[in-house]
């Protein structure tokens, strides 16, 4: 494989899935932030005002959960954490300083990505469950006020975790040059693949031969 070769990293269907997650996440995030703190209430204007944001937010959240759970099911096999991943993790300090020599060869995803998947899965599960408990007017009246008090705390905390994951994910994609095209055009350069995911690169090389 030449260095210039492009390697398929995500199929069109995977990319579509990813962007459905991204869009619903952004919609749920922006409408939800409006209720998170008065500082962000103006964001509800993007959805036609406070009442519309309140009506739409849970549907965005439900759609996000739907697309995200499908996504996780699809990438789960490549997300199993291996000994190599932990070895890679020990070099995190160097990696953050762009010193990437002496890194072990990784599979399709690195430890950061794998932990992100798990954290988001947990956060979105908690958001879904706590969200149903406080979903007005459909479900909330069925649950006790005390249960709902717990739910709002869990919902706010999980939202914070999910938003932090989002910030880390977006930044990491931007910081690691050549990554974003994997989710837009579906391909990465062979150089990129060999550098970041040597194990996966070898595997793909083998397939192509």
Partner 1 sequence: MTLQSLDIKRRSATTTPSPNARTTLEVVKLIDISKCIGCKACQVACMEWNDLRDTVGKNRGVYDNPADLSDQSWTVMRFAEVEPTPGRLEWLIRKDGCMHCADPGCLKSCPAPGAIIQYSNGIVDFHEEACVGCGYCIIGCPFNIPRLSRKDGKAYKCTLCSDRVAVNLEPACAKTCPTGAIIFGSKEDMLQHATGRIADLKERGYQQAGLYNPPGVGGTHVMYVLQHADRPELYQGLPKDPGISPLVVLWKEIAKTVMNIGLGAAIASGVIHYLTQGPNEVTEEKEETL
What is the binding site for partner 1 (CB under 8 A)? 3, 34-39, 41, 44, 50-51, 53-55, 95-98, 100, 134, 136-137, 140-141, 145-146, 148-150, 152-153, 156-157, 160, 163-164, 167-168, 171, 174-178, 191-192, 194-196
109 Rama sector, left if φ>0, alpha if ψ -120 to 50, beta otherwise: beta
Q: Which is nearer to partner 1, 17 or 32 (CB)?
A: 32
Q: How far is the CB of 171 from partner 1 (least distance, A)?
A: 4
Options 10, 18, 169, 196, the catalytic residue: 169
CA distances (Å), origin 20, targets 17, 34, 68, 121? 5, 21, 8, 16
Closest CB to partner 1 among 50 and 199? 50
Active site residue 169: yes
Closest distance between partner 1 and the C-beta of residue 85, in Å? 18
- As measured in angstroms, the least distance from the Cβ of 1 to partner 1 is 13
| Cα–Cα dist 3/189, whole Å | 7
Nearer to partner 1, 68 or 197 (CB): 197
- Residue 12 or 173 with smaller CB distance to partner 1: 173
* Residue 38 burial (CB count, 10 A): 8
Q: Strand 187-189 and strand 6-8: pairing?
A: antiparallel
Q: Report whether 34 contacts 40 (CB < 8 A).
A: yes
Task: State the nearest-atom distance from the C-beta of 39 to partner 1, in Å.
Answer: 7
Q: Which tokens in the block code for residue 154?
A: 């869990």
β partners of residue 6: 189
Cα 167–Cα 56–Cα 64 angle in degrees, nearest 5: 45
> Nearest Cα to 199, choosing from 74, 88, 60?
88
Catalytic residues, by residue number, are 169
């Amino acid at each position: 494989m030449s260095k210039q070769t492009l390697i398929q990293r995500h199929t069109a269907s995977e990319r579509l899935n990813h962007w459905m997650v991204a869009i619903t996440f952004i919609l749920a995030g922006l409408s939800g932030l409006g209720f998170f703190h008065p500082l962000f209430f103006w964001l509800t204007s993007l959805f036609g005002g406070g009442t519309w944001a309140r009506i739409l937010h849970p549907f965005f959240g439900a759609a996000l959960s739907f697309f995200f759970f499908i996504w996780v099911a699809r990438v789960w096999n490549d997300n199993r954490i291996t000994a190599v991943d932990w070895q890679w993790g020990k070099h995190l300090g160097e990696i953050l300083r762009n010193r990437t020599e002496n890194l072990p060869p990784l599979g399709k995803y690195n430890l950061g990505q794998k932990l992100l998947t798990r954290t988001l899965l947990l956060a979105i599960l908690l958001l879904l469950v706590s969200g149903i408990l406080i979903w007005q007017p459909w479900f909330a009246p069925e649950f006790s006020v005390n249960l709902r008090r717990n739910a709002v705390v869990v919902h706010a905390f999980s939202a914070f975790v999910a938003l932090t994951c989002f910030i880390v994910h977006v930044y990491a994609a931007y910081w690691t040059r050549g990554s974003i095209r994997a989710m837009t055009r579906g391909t990465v350069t062979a150089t990129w693949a060999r550098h970041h995911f040597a194990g996966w690169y070898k595997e793909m090389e083998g397939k192509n031969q």
